[in-house]
Structure 1
């Protein structure tokens, strides 16, 4: 990382699901007793991985079609139903709604609150999430992080990484794209933000290669605490 990567940055903008809050761990903890009651003998962590992958695939299809934006909640319910169908698990629509609704209650990764408190001393802190506006509003009482602004991609009528999501977020923040450091645990999100014109920081929690792309992150660190160490 060079000082040029952050010299003009005024806003740190965060993905929420999987970057600020622990989506895999939190949903696995929720799915484990649910699946045990169903008598399913598989790995709950794998169930959540399949759920999230199917959700991701369908949100990308929705973004590429670029028709009327489908809500995050609806995409999530379709994904959960699909995975339970594939796994041969009997379920009700209320059970599907319950599982997806638990996303609103996810807690931050352990180091995140303190790291964001340090970042707040120098930058405005903003969320740009694929979540629906009401889901993100409800989540505030569970993650308890006082972000300066929380933006849903519904404002841009598309899921990330469509360029419209990042440009709309910058517009709503009142800053230039190059004045934003976008922070995510997902390579696709960093790639989308970088391609749109933002600076990017990749939180490499899973210690995986970022991959070959012309849109490499400006900063690559293993945790949010390391990010705060690097730029505050």
Structure 2
């Protein structure tokens, strides 16, 4: 096993529970507006537009736009499709639901343990402000924030992974990308990083989540403490 110096963690789904966090806040906002809305389905629909919106940036179909802008465009489309006309301040509040999401139960303690041996970095497609707000609110003990905004490309393009390694002055193979999504790990591997799959079976609620596939990751763990155990014995 390579000697890793940096552990880079995906955030949405891997470190925090985006579905519960977004759905709960959407439900509260909808109730205040007197709107009947399936908040979980709304969150699922919103997340379903995540990769396609970023792909349009990576493919050069549009200039760089950070994630809050992409989330806002997706939100406007969803509201139009549902025949909902919400005020500007309510729309801004909805976009910012992605800035405050609950950490998985093992995330804080697991990161703290891993941080004793490694640099632990948040490497996410979220914007720099979004990630800073989210990490602070959830009390996540990261050493640094490495937003795709710094690379002006979104994962799984190689630029965010290589930018993370360059900024931390390490070789790509000295970085272990940790995620619960195979598309993210596939991108990291193509960029020369090590890969660790962490299971998050509840990430998408009843719709299922990515399952372990040893052929697509160097390491597989049930949670962050499990990853610490694997690395301790490496």
TM norm structure 1:
0.89
Question: In the alignment, does 2:180 pair up with 1:185?
Answer: yes
Residue of structure 2 equivalent to 1:47: 42
Residue 186 to residue 102, structure 1, CA distance change in 2 (3 Å): same
Residue of structure 1 equivalent to 2:21: 26
Q: CA deviation at 1:146?
A: 2.8
> 1:23, 1:103 within 8 Å by CA — same for their partners in 2?
yes
Question: In the alignment, does 2:71 pair up with 1:71?
Answer: no
Residue of structure 2 equivalent to 1:106: 101
Residue of structure 2 equivalent to 1:201: 196
> 2:126, 2:147 within 8 Å by CA — same for their partners in 1?
yes
- Tell me, in whole angstroms, the C-alpha distance in 1 between the residues paired with 2:224 and 2:107: 6
Residue of structure 2 equivalent to 1:223: 223
> 2:8, 2:178 within 8 Å by CA — same for their partners in 1?
yes
> 1:38, 1:89 within 8 Å by CA — same for their partners in 2?
no
User: 36-45 vs 171-180, which deviates more?
Assistant: 36-45
Residue of structure 1 equivalent to 2:204: none
> 2:9, 2:15 within 8 Å by CA — same for their partners in 1?
yes
- Tell me, in whole angstroms, the C-alpha distance in 1 between the residues paired with 2:198 and 2:88: 35
1:57-85: CA deviation from partner (whole Å, max 9, x where unpaired): 11121112175311111001111111122
Instruction: Give 1:151's match in structure 2, choosing from 146, 149, 154.
Output: 146
Q: Any gaps of 5 or more consecutive residues in structure 2?
A: 202-207
Aligned-CA RMSD value:
2.1
3-state SS of the aligned residue for 2:51? helix
Residue 62 to residue 169, structure 1, CA distance change in 2 (3 Å): same
TM norm structure 2:
0.88
User: Number of matched residues?
Assistant: 226
> 1:52, 1:79 within 8 Å by CA — same for their partners in 2?
no
1:87-136: CA deviation from partner (whole Å, max 9, x where unpaired): 22221222121111122122211111111111112111011111111222
Q: Any gaps of 5 or more consecutive residues in structure 1?
A: none
